[in-house]
Amino acid sequence: MPDDLSVTPVEALKHAQRLLDADRPFHAHEVLEAAWKEAPEAERELWRGLAQIAVGVTHVRRGNARGARALLERAADRIEPYAHDTPYSIDVTGVAAEARRIAGHAADGIDPDMPVRIQLTRRSSTP
């Protein structure tokens, strides 16, 4: 990913979802981080949390249970305030729940190959 990646929120969500679906969470993080840097102030913590969830999944893939658990819990806390008024059809509730599910498994040790099902947007209204 280029350091100066510039994406719209809708582009970021589509591209990050493709990367997550391809089990490339670190690359998804870079796309979401680019959106975070360009987001309006009111949305920055949402995008920051989404980027952190992707990094948390990266920790899972690398077998770092402690890092995964801490980052996924913190990221879920960060995005949950957006659950009632989410922009771009982001499924905050579903993403936070999946982050907490993964974090719960990490508390017991982690299988780097564990299934991860992060769906960034609500399926009925995917951007």
What are the pLDDT digits (tens) for 85-105? 989 999 999 999 999 999 988
Q: Which CATH number fits domain 9-125: 1.10.3450.10, 1.20.1730.10, 3.30.70.1730, 3.40.50.720?
A: 1.10.3450.10
User: What is the pLDDT, as a whole number, of residue 126?
Assistant: 41
Q: Concatenated DSSP letters for 55-98?
A: HHHHHHHTT-HHHHHHHHHHHHHHHGGGTTS-GGGB-HHHHHHH
Q: Which residues of the chain have pLDDT under 70?
A: 1-4, 124-127
Phi, psi at 117, each rounded to 5°: -125, 75
What is the model's pLDDT at position 69?
Answer: 94
The overall pTM is greater than 0.85:
yes
